[in-house]
Amino acid sequence: MNSFKIFITFLLLAIAISSCQKVIEFNGEITQPIVTVNSLLTPDSVVSAQVSLSRFFLSNDTVYNMIANAQTNLFVNGALKETLSYKSNGVYVGTYKPVSGDSLSFQIKIPGKNDVTCATSMKSTPVIASIDTNTVSTGKKTPILYNRIIDATHMELDTIGYGYEHKMSCALHFTDDGIARNYYRLVVTTKTTMGTKKTYSYSFNFDDIVSGNTNNSIGPPTSLVSNKYNIFNNELFLGKPYALQFSVLYNKNSFLPAYTKNPNTQEVSINLQRVSRSYFLYLKTRAGIKTNTFFAEPVQVYTNIEGGIGIMGSYTNSIVKFTL
């Protein structure tokens, strides 16, 4: 068969496949909107919750309906503490700041809907004993570019310096209280300041054994896909001191002499959070959602909202900051 016949064969095959497309009508049950509550509590802020209605997944609506007429009651250790005030966009805010050891719950009453309840408990604050670091250069060099104004209508891209990539390996030392199963989350932020401009990076490699991630010699660690919320539990160090391992990649910039008037500064913030079991399970199940493929298996996201869906979680945290 010559090349012309092969081309015709593939062309006819493509036409046949395209002609087989068929619109399939949805014959399942269209679910009614469900009350959705989202609340994440911490001692650093007053209590708050967002109350809305869920949206059917085949709906053409692009926004969620926020509920503005809910009576949102906060209970602390079993006693009514206050009724939250409505602000906007479905958000209700109180005046109480939780403390470690609190048992907190919401009772939400909405006209025409069943009552919704949810609860969480505020854990003790994790204590960071120390952080050991070791920094090495990776040898990677990238130019720092800047748009230089020539006149009112022209700009020219200049190289004003170079960024030299460094890897800072960290060991965060803390002790688990060992009372029961505890749940944690690690958040590392790098803030770069140049003049009045501030940029933030949340990228770090969390390859400690407790993360469930592994190093990949071909590409980056799998934390970006397998444990993208950087959560872990105390199963391997129950009631013991532990050194949590992770690393941060950052550029140490060197500017040309004409551009040294506004050198940049970099600050790393290491945030160790102790999270409630409900928040841990919510993040763990949410991490399993794959949005980049139509054929992905459906994932049941954890919820602890009785009479609705969503999450009521909590966390305490310790933060250590230092300048690179």
| Domain residue limits, the chain | 28-123+276-315, 128-274
Q: What is the spatial distance between Cα 147 and Cα 22, in angstroms, rounded to a whole number?
A: 52
Q: What is the spatial distance between Cα 164 and Cα 180, in angstroms, rounded to a whole number?
A: 44
Tokens describing residue 15: 């036409």
Tokens describing residue 224: 């970006």
- Strand 91-93 relative to strand 128-151, pairing: unpaired
Q: Which residue shows structure tokens 């109350």?
A: 51
Rounded to two decimals, what is the model's pTM?
A: 0.79
The answer for 101, left when phi > 0, alpha when psi is -120 to 50, beta otherwise, is left
- What confidence score (pLDDT) does residue 219 get? 39
Cα 13 versus chain centre, distance: 45
- What confidence score (pLDDT) does residue 223 get? 41
**Amino acid, res. 175:** T
- What confidence score (pLDDT) does residue 149 get? 74
- What confidence score (pLDDT) does residue 56 get? 55
pLDDT in tens, the chain (324 residues): 555 555 555 555 555 555 555 554 545 455 678 999 999 999 999 999 999 998 754 455 556 689 999 999 999 999 999 999 999 999 999 999 999 999 999 999 999 999 999 999 999 999 999 999 999 998 888 888 877 777 777 777 888 888 888 899 999 999 999 888 999 999 999 888 877 778 888 878 998 999 987 554 333 444 444 688 999 999 999 999 999 999 998 888 788 877 665 667 889 999 999 999 999 999 999 887 655 444 445 668 899 999 999 999 999 999 999 887
Name residue 273's beta-bridge partners. Answer: 185, 317
Name residue 248's beta-bridge partners. Answer: 168
Q: What is the spatial distance between Cα 318 and Cα 274, in angstroms, rounded to a whole number?
A: 9
Q: What is the spatial distance between Cα 167 and Cα 321, in angstroms, rounded to a whole number?
A: 17
Q: What is the spatial distance between Cα 214 and Cα 208, in angstroms, rounded to a whole number?
A: 8
Q: What is the spatial distance between Cα 41 and Cα 121, in angstroms, rounded to a whole number?
A: 9
Q: Which residue shows structure tokens 């809305």?
A: 52
- What confidence score (pLDDT) does residue 263 get? 64
Query: Residue 206, Cβ neighbours under 10 Å: how many?
Result: 23
Q: What is the spatial distance between Cα 74 and Cα 305, in angstroms, rounded to a whole number?
A: 14
Q: What is the spatial distance between Cα 224 and Cα 315, in angstroms, rounded to a whole number?
A: 22
- What confidence score (pLDDT) does residue 209 get? 93
Greatest alpha-carbon pair distance for the chain in Å reads 85
Q: Residue 315: CA atoms inside 13 Å, Cβ hemisphere, count?
A: 21
Q: Which residue shows structure tokens 């619109």?
A: 23
